[in-house]
């Protein structure tokens, strides 16, 4: 497909195709010699990719191609956008907040910032927020934290723009179309250096006190290079097999932004993008697009695979092309992956395609990858031994309380992982402690937050991830977040263990239906479980309370106060993770009916 190089001057929202030619996606084969992120900046990476045929392809939630955006056209449009942004009076280093819809406008503005030396800050859409008021407050907090001078709001929430930008000191606040009507400045675009900030990434938990992770051009490129070359082992251009990415992941989250927006471009891959906000309603479209375009690389948190497994796939969908079915973004639930593989085997899905990985925004994205072509590797341990002794004792004794973890691979090249005790000593295999990482893709810090940066990043370049885990045969195993740990009578209890037990043992519950945390009272700590209930009759509701309470007592030996809450009320982060801290705050503020509580014995 040929694109119109003057498309940038004809309005941002027009699809780049001739009136008579059918709209077709960009090809998987770029025609270029494959390069793996060996560029000084993302602008330079786009300069190279623009010499080939690959690009971004924007689809609707129903799988209709809305825009094919070859990298050569994106480059032309992004440079025009850079001049528009500079024409607003923005100066190199200024921040531009972009509410990140998965469309061509986001790509044009994000890369316009890269060429202009501006720092984009992708912000979430209101997919996982409780309502307009809470969402707007969260967004304004992020905008203020970034010190943004311009804010771009997509049409899908355009009616909220006034509330979002009201009273802020901005040179621009409006839609992509509004931005396109501004004149391009007659200026030479600046030279971009490796040490310059590329973007700010607000982590998925950034709500009450949002902190933007500062990612330099060098750090972003180091992670993209390690992901493509070493983690995914993207096929060289000389290979007869062509890699292609298919994603519904949000571009305001590190897994979507880095994994399926920036990294593919740095190694000249085509990407098919679906809107995040429609995935939950039509998860099968993701599978259909992988089959239709012969996608080879696609990632999801556990719940995405669960949604697809529940819906299944049509018989004509062929997933034999899918060589890397990545899993990350949250604690990995192996039983969900097993169910997905079993359900989709008839469609050609090979369970050996599963690839576990570990990462976080503070490391740009990826820290470790499990080996390819081996599927998920698990470690089953004695849960009581883990809770009391901090040691992952292997066990398959059915009379014991067991917990199965997923191995997330070894550190990427040039990166290091250590597990340390509270005194900073490095622990040996199977001893649980805090996970520390170091490497060239780490953030330079939280933007404008030197104290918070110093609390997690030391002078030797080691980042305290806040995660707990252990090392096994050179691979990292993550057991949970330190801040979520519940300590009862000398036992370290991981809340996700209780959540997963309830969701897997109680037939009416699904993933993300249970949030467990501790609440202090006069007698000490009390464990509380918020459980989403779909039953309307009191008999059904009481049965659910009794089943969950007895399950926790039987499997975990703990008394738990169970609070039933309506469906879709448990809060999630912008990436779809359950957020226990917000759930606890909602309970304590009286947003849930306390009469629903089953008191602990």
CATH code of the domain in which 392 resides: 3.40.50.12780
Tokens (6 digits) for 599: 């008191």
Q: Is 1 within a domain? A: no
Strands 55-59 and 119-123: unpaired
What pLDDT does residue 574 have? 60
What pLDDT does residue 575 have? 61
pLDDT per residue as tens digits for the range 81-99 = 999 999 999 999 999 999 9
Q: How many CA atoms lie within 13 A of 385 on its CB side?
A: 14
CA distances from 370 to 150, 168, 407, 474 (A): 40, 45, 7, 10
Q: Answer with the one of 282, 302, 337 that is the final residue of a domain.
A: 282
Q: Is 534 within a domain? A: yes
Pick 14 or 516 by higher pLDDT.
516
**CB-CB neighbours of 320 under 10 Å:** 12
Q: Are residues 209 and 259 in the same domain?
A: yes
CA distances from 597 to 259, 345, 505, 543, 570 (A): 42, 42, 21, 13, 16
Q: Are residues 47 and 169 in the same domain?
A: yes
Q: Which of 518, 516, 552 is nearest to 532 (CA)?
A: 516
Q: Are residues 311 and 326 in the same domain?
A: yes
Between 265-274, 398-407, 438-447, 516-525, the lowest mean confidence (pLDDT) is in 516-525
Q: Are residues 291 and 256 in the same domain?
A: no
CA distances from 547 to 372, 510, 528, 534, 584 (A): 40, 15, 15, 15, 22
Percent of the chain with pLDDT over 70: 92
Q: Is 16 within a domain? A: yes
Helices 302-311 + 284-293 axis angle, to 10: 90
pLDDT per residue as tens digits for the range 145-192 = 999 999 999 999 999 999 999 999 999 999 999 999 999 999 999 999
Q: How many CA atoms lie within 13 A of 251 on its CB side?
A: 28
What pLDDT does residue 587 have? 87
Q: Are residues 512 and 384 in the same domain?
A: no
Q: Are residues 248 and 296 in the same domain?
A: no
Pick 33 or 568 by higher pLDDT.
33
What pLDDT does residue 7 have? 38
Mean pLDDT, rounded, for 411-434: 97
What pLDDT does residue 1 have? 36
Check pLDDT > 60 for residue 11.
Answer: no
Q: Answer with the one of 457, 484, 511 that is the final residue of a domain.
A: 484
Residue 186: burial class (beta carbons within 10 Å; 0-12, 13-18, 19+): exposed
Q: Are residues 216 and 352 in the same domain?
A: no
What pLDDT does residue 16 have? 43
pLDDT per residue as tens digits for the range 457-486 = 999 999 999 999 999 999 999 998 888 888
Mean pLDDT, rounded, for 237-246: 90
pLDDT band of residue 601 (cuts 50, 70, 90) is very low
Q: Is 601 within a domain? A: no
Q: Are residues 294 and 327 in the same domain?
A: yes
Q: Are residues 262 and 395 in the same domain?
A: no
Q: Are residues 131 and 168 in the same domain?
A: yes
Q: Answer with the one of 461, 484, 507 that is the final residue of a domain.
A: 484
* Dihedral angle sign, alpha carbons of residues 355, 233, 243, 62: positive
Structural domain tally of the chain? 3
- Residues 250, 253, 255, CA angle at the centre, nearest 5°? 90
**CB-CB neighbours of 407 under 10 Å:** 24
Q: Is 346 within a domain? A: yes
Rounded to the nearest 10°, the torsion over CA 321, 233, 254, 26 is -50
Q: Is 149 within a domain? A: yes
Q: Which residues fall within 8 angstroms of residue 300, CB to CB, at 6 or more apart? A: 248, 249, 286, 325, 326, 327, 329
pLDDT per residue as tens digits for the range 493-514 = 888 889 888 988 998 998 889 9
| Helices marked H in 480-532 | 495-505
Owning domain of residue 151 = 7-282
Q: Are residues 272 and 365 in the same domain?
A: no
Check pLDDT > 80 for residue 104.
Answer: yes
Tokens (6 digits) for 311: 């819906």
Question: What is d(CA 535, CA 527) in angstroms, rounded to the nearest whole number?
Answer: 23
**CB-CB neighbours of 33 under 10 Å:** 11
Phi/psi class of residue 393: alpha, beta or left (left: φ > 0; alpha: ψ in -120 to 50)?
beta
Residue 341: burial class (beta carbons within 10 Å; 0-12, 13-18, 19+): buried
Q: Is 2 within a domain? A: no
Between 18-27, 118-127, 449-458, the lowest mean confidence (pLDDT) is in 18-27
Question: What is d(CA 485, CA 479) in angstroms, rounded to the nearest whole number?
Answer: 10
Q: Are residues 306 and 410 in the same domain?
A: yes
How many Å separate Cα 119 from the centre of its chain?
20
Mean pLDDT rounded to a whole number for the chain: 90
> Which CATH number goes with the domain that contains 567?
3.30.300.30
Residue 590: burial class (beta carbons within 10 Å; 0-12, 13-18, 19+): exposed
pLDDT per residue as tens digits for the range 50-65 = 999 999 999 999 999 9
Question: What is d(CA 246, CA 497) in angstroms, rounded to the nearest whole number?
Answer: 31
Percent of the chain with pLDDT over 90: 73
Question: What is d(CA 22, CA 20) in angstroms, rounded to the nearest whole number?
Answer: 7
Check pLDDT > 50 for residue 205.
Answer: yes
Question: What is d(CA 354, CA 324) in angstroms, rounded to the nearest whole number?
Answer: 6
Q: Is 258 within a domain? A: yes
Q: Which residues fall within 8 angstroms of residue 584, CB to CB, at 6 or more apart? A: 515, 517, 519, 528
* Contact of 32 with 52, CB cutoff 8 Å: yes
């Amino acid at each position: 497909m040929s694109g119109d190089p003057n498309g940038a001057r004809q309005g941002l929202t027009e699809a780049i195709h001739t009136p008579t030619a059918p709209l077709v996606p960009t090809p998987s084969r770029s025609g270029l010699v494959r390069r793996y992120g060996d560029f000084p900046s993302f602008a330079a990476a786009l300069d190279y990719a623009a010499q080939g045929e690959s690009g971004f392809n924007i689809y609707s939630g129903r799988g209709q191609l809305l825009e094919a955006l070859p990298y050569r056209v994106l480059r032309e449009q992004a440079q025009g956008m850079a001049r528009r942004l500079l024409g607003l009076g923005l100066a190199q280093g200024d921040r531009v907040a972009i509410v990140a819809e998965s469309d061509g406008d986001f790509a044009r503005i994000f890369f316009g910032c890269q060429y202009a030396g501006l720092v984009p800050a992708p912000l979430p859409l209101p997919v996982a927020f409780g309502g307009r008021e809470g969402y707007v407050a969260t967004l304004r907090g992020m905008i203020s934290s970034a010190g943004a001078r311009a804010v771009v709001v997509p049409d899908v929430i355009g009616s909220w723009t006034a509330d979002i930008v009201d009273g802020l000191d901005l040179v621009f606040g409006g839609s992509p179309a509004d931005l396109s009507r501004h004149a391009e400045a007659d200026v030479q675009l600046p030279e971009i250096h490796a040490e310059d900030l590329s973007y700010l990434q607000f982590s998925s938990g950034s709500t009450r006190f949002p902190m933007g992770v500062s990612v330099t051009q060098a750090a972003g490129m180091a992670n993209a290079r390690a992901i493509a070359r070493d983690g995914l082992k993207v096929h060289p251009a000389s290979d007869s097999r062509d890699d292609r990415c298919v994603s519904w992941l949000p571009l305001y989250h590190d897994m979507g932004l880095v994994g399926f927006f920036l990294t593919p471009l740095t190694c000249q891959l085509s990407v098919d993008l679906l809107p995040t906000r429609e995935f939950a309603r039509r998860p099968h479209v993701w599978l259909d697009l992988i089959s239709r375009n012969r996608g080879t690389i696609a990632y999801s948190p556990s719940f995405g695979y669960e949604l697809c497994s529940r819906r299944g796939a049509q018989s004509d969908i062929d997933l034999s092309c899918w060589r890397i079915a990545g899993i990350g973004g949250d604690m990995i639930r192996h039983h969900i992956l097993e169910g997905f593989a079993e359900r989709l085997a008839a469609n050609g899905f090979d369970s050996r395609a599963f690839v576990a990985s570990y990462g976080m925004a503070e490391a740009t994205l990826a820290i470790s990858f499990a080996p390819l072509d081996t599927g998920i590797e698990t470690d089953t341990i004695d849960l009581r031994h883990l809770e009391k002794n901090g040691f992952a004792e292997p066990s398959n004794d059915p009379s014991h309380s067991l917990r199965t973890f997923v191995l997330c691979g070894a550190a990427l090249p040039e990166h290091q992982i250590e597990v340390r005790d509270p005194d900073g000593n490095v622990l040996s295999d199977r001893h649980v402690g805090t996970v520390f990482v170091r490497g060239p893709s780490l953030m330079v810090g939280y933007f404008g937050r030197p104290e918070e940066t110093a609390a997690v990043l030391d002078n030797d370049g080691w980042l305290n991830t806040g995660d707990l885990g252990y090392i096994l045969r050179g691979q990292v195993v993550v057991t949970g977040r330190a801040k979520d740990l519940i300590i009862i009578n000398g036992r370290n209890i991981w809340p996700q263990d209780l959540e997963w037990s309830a969701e897997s043992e109680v037939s009416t519950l699904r993933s993300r239906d249970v949030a467990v945390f501790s609440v202090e009272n006069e007698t000490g700590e009390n464990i509380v479980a918020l459980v989403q209930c779909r039953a309307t009759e009191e008999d059904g509701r009481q049965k659910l309370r009794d089943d969950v309470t007895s399950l926790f007592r039987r499997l975990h030996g703990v008394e738990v106060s169970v609070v039933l809450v309506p469906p879709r009320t448990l809060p999630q982060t912008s990436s779809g993770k359950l957020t226990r801290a917000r759930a606890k705050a909602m309970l304590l503020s009286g947003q849930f009916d306390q009469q629903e509580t089953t008191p602990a014995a």
